[in-house]
Amino acid sequence: METITSRKNSRVQALRALGRNKAYRREQGLFLCDGEKLLSEALANGADIAEIYLRGAKPAGNMPEVPVYSLSEDVFDYASPLEHSPGPLFTVRAKPLPERVRPDRVIVLENVQDPGNVGT
């Protein structure tokens, strides 16, 4: 497990950009997540986790086969988009969205007084 102690590290800069820049997230096809519970849920549901970043030198334990990095306390706080992040941070590859389906027919309703009657 590599330890990162510099805010100028390219991985740290990428984490900051993922947490703060929607265009960068789309460009990279990644998004940033934070927290042990979210990580365990992501693993349980088959999320495609790219990297995991731990606060300090916590043992990795039962981590998946992905790169795991240790960030110093101040670098972790700098990289996280949350003010008081519990950690760990992790990146997940975004799944491609399906093409929009173009319906054959469209109904547009305006100023409907009782929306419950629309289906009848």
Q: Report yes or no on 48 lying in a domain.
A: yes
**The pLDDT of residue 59:** 58
Between CA 48 and CA 42 the distance in angstroms is 8
Q: Report yes or no on 110 lying in a domain.
A: no
Which range marks the domain in which residue 60 is found?
Answer: 2-93
For the chain, what is the domain count? 1
Q: Report yes or no on 120 lying in a domain.
A: no
**The pLDDT of residue 62:** 63
CATH number at residue 51: 3.30.1330.30
Q: Report yes or no on 106 lying in a domain.
A: no
- From the first residue on, what is the mean pLDDT of each consecutive set of 10 residues in the chain (120 residues)? 90 94 93 91 91 79 79 92 88 82 76 73
CA atoms within 13 A on the CB side of 39: 21
Q: Report yes or no on 104 lying in a domain.
A: no
Between CA 31 and CA 18 the distance in angstroms is 6
Residue 88 near residue 51 (C-beta atoms within 8 A): no
What value does the mean pLDDT of the chain take? Answer: 86
Q: Report yes or no on 11 lying in a domain.
A: yes
